[in-house]
Structures are given as C-alpha cells and as structure tokens.
Structure 1
Amino acid sequence: MSTRRHFIATTSSAFAFPFIARGAAPEAKILDTRVISQQPEFYHGWPTVAQRQNGELWVTCSGGREAHVCPFGKVVAMKSTDHGGTWSAPMTIHDGPIDDRDSGVLETAKGTLLVTTFTSLAYEDHYKKATAMAELTPQGWVSKAMPAERYARWKAAHEKLSDAERQAQLGEWVLRSTDGGETWSKPIATVVNSPHGPIQLKDGRQLYVGKQLWTGDKKIGVSESKDDGLTWQWLADIPTRQGDDAVKGYHELHAVEAADGTLIAQIRNHNEADKGWTLQTESTDGGKTWSQPHPICYGLPSHLLRLRDGRLVMSYGHRRKPFGNEARISSDNGKTWGEPVTLSGDGIGGDLGYPSTVELPDGTLLTVWYETMREPKLAVLRQATWRLS
C-alpha cells in the first residue's frame, strides 16, 4: 500500500489535467440511424466498429445469444465495403465451449486484424438456480425458474464440460488474422480485457488498457504488444483515486493517443463517488505512468477516437432517461470536453450502449452500438451516421 500511495502522490501532480472543464457544445447533425444486425432471433451485445486501411468497415460483437447472460455467446463479425451502406452476413470468428462475450476489433499498422473477447461463466448462477427448482418428469427435466425448452438447452450446454474444464476456459483473448479475415489464429492470452480492445500507437506498439478478470487481484492497468499482437506483457498499473475501490468499481477501459502524444484512458466507474460516470487518466511517457483518475461526465462505457484534424471523440452509453448514446468532442488533446451530442435518445431502457465510432473518408462519423428494442425483443446492433460542423 505504501508503494501505491507513493506512486499516486508523485505522479498525480506531474500531469496538467487537474480537472476537466466544459467546452461549448459542437454543432452536429444525425444523418441516418438504422438497425444493421440481421438475425432478430439472437441477442447481439457489446460491439466495436473499426475501419481498415483499405476502407473496409468491420463490426464484431457477441452474437448467437439468447439473452444478456447465457451460455451461448460467440464472436461474430460483419463487414461493409460501402462505408456502412450495406453489411455482409454475420461470420463466426470464434465459438468456444463457454460464453464468448464483448468483442473489440483493430487493424494494426501492419494490416493484421485483431479481434478481442473474453470468456465467462456468469450464466452459472442462473442455471444453478433453475437446477435447484428442477424435477424429472415423463417429458424430461422441468424447472419452475425457466421455460422447459430453455432449461434443456442450458443443461445440454452446461454439461458439455466438467466444472474443472469450464474453469480452464476462462480468460481474456485476442484472435489474429493476417489475410484480411479469411482465417484466424487460435485464441491468444492478452493479460487484460476491455470491450473495445487495444489501440495502435505511432511507435508501432499495440496498447491494451483494461482489467485482469480472472486473477486474484483483478488489477486495472496497461498491457502492450511489440510483435503485432502475438504476445502481450504487463506494462503499468493505473493508480486508484483516493477513496475508490478499483477491483469492485473500475471496469471497461479504452484509450487513445492524442495528437501531442498524450495517452488518454477512460474508465467505467461504479464507486460511490461519481457512480455511473466515466473517469479519465493520462500518460505522457508512453504508458509507463498514469495520472490519478478524475471524472469527465455521466455515461459509460466510453470509446475514444482521434479524428484526422486532431480532435478527439468520446462516445458512450447514456443509461438514464432519455436512454441512448452520446458523444463529446475535445479540441485540446483531452484537457477539456464539450457538451454532449445526442446520437440516439429513443431507448426503452438501460440495456444498450457500448458505442464506438469511426471517421469515414468524407469526414462523416459512423457509430455502432447494441440496444434492446420493443421489436425485435432481443438486442440488435444499431448504427448512426452523423457529421460535426
């Protein structure tokens, strides 16, 4: 603890970001909003959109699902060759024996596609509750806690592996493709996880800010790859704000490299102070040390993008009325952020968000998120195209 306190005390004053001021709200126009997922029979969750050097757009997400929590998630991708006008049929990139959740996608400077995910057994609590209330009937197993057909599906999925085999499947992963998505590597351990995955730095490294999900200490920090995503090493801890509990309260980070070289990372915060807000931390030495996190705004989790003109865009879910997604713009490398731009505000509840954004060749911005709608009742992927003045 003394080492951590010393680190916070000596680093938090070394950065010129003591607080985030508010700039003026930028003028923005929403040009189009549409559903882009094509399988209304499945729940789609936690997507990321990325733009390749050849102009292709890729969206990856957790698809093939029955619900927000279930044992069936798999990593699926769609691509667009006309700037989001149309999308390909979903392609399965990875379907492991347990639930594959949130997915990020990145093209590295060398043209390699990196798709991230993590595996989860969150469904087990629901399954065990249903099993405790189940009985064998002439028609098969029936549970009072779950419809019979669903319980049969969950039971079959659960019993594919032993308890020890399921535990061995837990991890944070990246899959690599060096041929434009035609073939994919086996899952590679990444040290940390966050929904939108790593970023490409100007010095050639891939930087991944996130959380260790399955270790005892569940550290918040930064890992890096110096070999195009083949291997990942721990780089640095991110300090904890005084009074916060990082293990229980910090989640789902994302980063960007600003035009002046500053690395900016944002954190989903569930501590009592600024609960439901995004926090921000900065590094001016390539990610070796980071400032103490400080609050930006209500809404989470965020995705960060640097535009061609040097401005930064943070897009994030707004999980209180009006339910939807917002974006903010910074014109000074993350020192201040403008007032929110509403990307969508017609949500029926809080099961939505995780927006990510790309800048199209003509300067139009395209944002993709997931959302549970009135029809279809399972979560879909939605897309908005919009333009800043």
Structure 2
Amino acid sequence: MRQHHRRDWLKLAGAGLAAGLWGRGAYAAATIEDRRIISWKPPLYHGWPTLARRKNGELLLAFSGGRETHVCPFGRLELMRSKDNGLTWGWPQVIYDGPIDDRDAGVVETAQGSLLMTTFTSLAYQPILEKAEKIPAGQPGAWDPHLLAEWQAVHGRLTAEQRQQELGCWMLRSTDGGVNWSARYRVPVDSPHGPVALTNGDVLYPGVALWTPERKVGVCLSKDDGVSWDWIADMPTRPGDDPLQYHELHAVEAADGTLICHIRNHNKPNAQETLQSESSDGGKTWSTPHAIGVWGLPSHLLRLRDGRLLMSYGYRRKPFGNQARLSEDHGKTWGEPVTLSDDGAGGDLGYPSTVECDDGTLVTVWYEKLKDSPLAQLRQARWRLG
C-alpha cells in the first residue's frame, strides 16, 4: 500500500503554483498529511461511500460492500467507525443485506443525535446475467461456471414479481448511536450522500424519486427526526434541460441561512459539471440551477467551523482523482480546485465526502478501482487547508 505523508506538500505546492491550486482571495493550499487505503476486505469491491462526523467526534463511514463489481447482485450496506479522526478504522458492520443489489450509502447524524442511513435498490445486474446465461459453456465470453451459479443463486431467491417489489429508495434509523437499527422504510427520494441536518432540527433530503411512475427531482423535509418525509418542492429545470438528466443531489445550510444544493448534470450544456440551486425560504422554493464552473461529479457539501463551504467531487478525466473547492461567500462563488488525489487508473472512482475534525484536520474518503486490481477499494486523505 502506497503511503503519502507531509512530503506531498512539496509536490502540491509546486504543482499549485503552476496549475492554480490556490483559492481566490486568501490562500487555499492543501497539506496532505496521509493518503491510504482503508478497506479491510481487498478481495471485495467497495462503492459510493459517505463520511459523517458525530457530535462526539466519532467518524462514520457508510458504503456499499460485499460486491464483486460496479454492477452485481451482491451489494449490501456496511458501516465503519473511527474514534481517532481517521487514523484507524474498526471492522465493518453489515447494517442491511437485502435480496437484490443495495447501492449508494448515505449517513447523517440529526440534531437529536439519531443516525439515518440511506440506500436504493437496483436490478441493473439482471440484463448482465441474462446475457451471460445465453453464452454456452466453453465459448468465447462464457462465464466461469461457479461465478454464473452464484449470480443465479442470488437472483433466484425471489420471483420476478418480488424483485420488482424490492425496488425503491430506503432509509434505516438508529437512536442508540448505531448499535441497533430500525427496519428499512421507504422514503420519497434517493441521493448518494443522503440528507443533511439543519440548524432548526429539521432534516432536508434533496434527491431523485426512483422506481416511481413519474421520475421527479426535488426536495423532501422531515420534521420528526427522519421518521416521516414530506415532498416540499420540485427542483426547477433550466430552459432546454431534460430533468431526467439531473442526478445525485446534495445540500448544505450556509452560515447566512441560505440552502445550497448541488446537482450532477448530464444535459449537453455543462455536461458532467456540477449545477447549483439556492433556497432562501427553508427549501420551499429554489432558484433555477446554474453552472458554477466546476467540471466533476457528484458533489458533497460541508460547512466548515469558520463558516466557509467546502465541496468535494470526483474528477473523472485525466488526471483521474478527486478535488475540493472552497466558497468564502456562502456559495455565491467557488475558488480554484485543490487536488486530493490524481493517480487514478480510470473513471471508476470518486463520490468523495469530507468531514472536519476538532483539530482542523479534514478527512475525505472516496472509492477507487485500483491500477493493480479490478476491485474498488476505499481510499482516504487526511489533509489541512493552508
């Protein structure tokens, strides 16, 4: 496992002067203190993590584990904990393992101290399996018989009708710090990094309604600590945009009370850029999404203790990796990128999320398919601004 320490600062400083890794106004240079793999099970594929920090300082890392590849029927929700700001991580706990693929894991601590974990279920693996079943054994492209039997065994646990009933957007809730979890329950939307806790005690969840007759993009609100959810607003659409090309939203409450929401955009204008929408009335109405000049996706938003906003996002073109940017004006403008990693093997990486520790250390975790393995692992950077 390759380790990166404070010597990385020398590389980043020289590269920053040449490539513009400084923020607008005050310096926003990054000192990478540590960059490493934190997965416990390298023979498995790990995907789409979310990092959260509890009020007691504990770090929680939710992800889709138990996988064989990016799309497969084996995904399950797992959770790891760190009690020392990401220096070490405990053994992963399986929170939920349903009969079909459980993807994308979000986690947040509410103002009341409850933990909410989110996911969505998928049958995207089914056409892959059906194609494999049509290739006779011994012919080019045929699967290993044992692997094919595994997929068939998982798929065969349910009838076709039961599999359709399993599709949905889901949440699990814990009121004892994650020792015990509720049964999963349906929620109106999904987004990879889940909801955000607001200062008034409410929980805001921007996302996409999946597996419904009408695919909608909008914002939901819970006033009872995540137990129930109300749809409070549709997300506006830019003139000419197809709302079907809006994906993977995440929000934050700025220090001035403005709600900022980032959207993964796949419309031709600003394709694969992050779009931004704002609300000044608690999420009831939102501005038309607009470009902010950031190529990368999806974005995770964090408000730092000093009131600045930080966005973390995957950079899926050369050099493949992950970046972060600061806003010093409550999301009105964003500074130049800070590179957190740029050594990826390809585009199967990203979904970074970041937390701030008491000592000012920032911890960012993402998933990444490595150069020497077809299996994606969880990587972490511990770093500082300035």
Fold agreement, TM-score > 0.5: yes
What is the one-letter code of the residue matched to 2:217?
A: I
The Cα of 1:133 is off from its aligned counterpart by 2.3
Alignment-derived partner of residue 41 in structure 1: 43
Q: 1:35, 1:381 within 8 Å by CA — same for their partners in 2?
A: yes
Q: Could you tell me which residue of structure 2 aligns to residue 319 of structure 1?
A: 316
CA distance in 2, matches of 1:42, 1:322: 25
Task: Say whether 1:106 aligns with 2:108.
Answer: yes
Residue from 253, 257, 260 that aligns with 1:261: 257
The one-letter amino acid paired with 1:381 is L
Hey, what does 1:16 align to over in structure 2? none
Partner AA of 1:163 in structure 2 = A
Conserved 8 A contact 2:344-2:371: no
Match of 1:120 among 99, 122, 129: 122
Q: For residue 104 of structure 1, what is the amino acid of its counterpart?
A: G
- Per the alignment, residue 281 of structure 1 pairs with 277
Q: Which residue of 2 aligns with 1:18?
A: none
The structural deviation recorded for 1:152 is 0.7
Counterpart residue type for residue 263 of structure 1: L
Equivalent residue letter for 1:170: L
Equivalent in the alignment of 1:353: 350
Q: Which residue of 2 aligns with 1:209?
A: 206
Shift of 1:23: 3.0
* Inter-partner Cα distance in structure 2 for 1:190 and 1:225: 10
**Alignment partner, residue 286 of structure 2:** 290
Partners in 2 of 1:384 and 1:68 — Cα distance?
A: 22
After superposition, where does 1:321-340 map in structure 2 within 5 Å? Answer: 321-340=318-337
Tell me which amino acid in the other structure corresponds to 1:98. Answer: I
In the alignment, does 2:370 pair up with 1:368?
A: no
1:225 aligned to 2:222? yes
Deviation, 1:132, is: 2.3
User: Which residue number in structure 2 is paired with residue 188 of structure 1?
Assistant: 185
Secondary structure of residue in 2 paired with 1:54: coil
Equivalent pair of 1:262/1:333 in contact (CA under 8 Å): yes
Aligned residue number for residue 6 of structure 2? none
> 1:174 matched to which residue of 2?
171
Cα distance in 2 for partners of 1:23, 1:61 equals 34
- In structure 2, the residue matched to 1:243 is 240
Q: Counterparts of 2:140 and 2:224 in 1: how far apart (Å)?
A: 50
Query: Identity of paired residues, percent?
Result: 61
1:23 matched to 2:24? The reply is yes
SS across alignment from 2:89: coil
TM-score with structure 2 setting the length: 0.92
Residue aligned with 2:297, SS: coil
Separation in 1, partners of 2:298, 2:367? 12
Indicate conservation of the 8 Å contact 2:235/2:286, yes or no. Answer: yes
After TM superposition, give the deviation of residue 143 of structure 1 in Å. Answer: 9.1
Alignment partners' CA distance in 1, 2:216 and 2:345: 34
Tell me the amino acid that sits aligned with residue 84 of structure 1: G
Deviation at 1:134, TM superposition (A): 4.3
Give per-residue Cα distances to partners, 1:82-134, cap 9 Å, x unaligned.
Answer: 11110001100000000000001101111111111110001011011112224
Give TM-score, length-normalised by structure 1.
0.91
State the alpha-carbon separation in 1 of the partners of residues 325 and 178 from structure 2: 32
Paired AA for residue 234 in structure 1: W
Q: What is the CA–CA distance in structure 2 between the aligned matches of 1:134 and 1:220, rounded to whole Å?
A: 42
Preserved CA contact (<8 Å) 1:143 1:151: no
Q: Report the counterpart of residue 88 of structure 2 in structure 1.
A: 86
Q: Aligned partner of 2:132: which letter?
A: A
Residue 154 of structure 2 corresponds to 157
Q: Spell out, residue by residue over 1:232-267, the C-alpha distance to the aligned partner (whole angstroms, 9 max, x if none).
A: 1111001011111011x1100000000000000000
Q: Give how far 1:377 is off.
A: 3.1
User: Judging changes above 3 Å, is the alpha-carbon distance between structure 1 residues 292 and 158 closer, same or farther for their aligned structure 2 residues?
Assistant: same
| Secondary structure in 2 matching 1:313 | strand
Which runs of no fewer than 5 residues in structure 1 stay unpaired?
Answer: 1-21
Take 2:76 and 2:161, find their aligned partners in 1: how far apart are those partners?
A: 21
Conserved in 1, the CA contact under 8 Å of 2:277 and 2:290?
yes
Q: Measure, in 1, the Cα distance between the counterparts of 2:57 and 2:83.
A: 7
Distance of 2:28 and 2:112 partners within structure 1: 34
Amino acid at match of 2:113: G
Question: Equivalents in 2 of 1:128, 1:197: separation in Å?
Answer: 32
Alignment partners' CA distance in 1, 2:233 and 2:143:
44
Specify the alignment match of 1:50 in structure 2.
52
Q: Deviations over 1:333-378 (max 9, x none)?
A: 0000000000000001000000000000011110000000023431
Shift of 1:26: 1.5
- Residue of structure 2 in register with 1:13 after alignment: none
Partners of 1:362 and 1:144 in 2: how far apart? 53
Shift in Å, 1:223 = 0.6
Please name the residue that 2:66 is paired with: 64
Q: How big is the shift at 1:144?
A: 4.3
Q: How many corresponding residue pairs?
A: 362
Q: Which residue of 2 aligns with 1:305?
A: 302
Q: Who is 2:4 aligned against?
A: none
Q: Does 1:200 align with 2:192?
A: no
The match for 1:12 is none
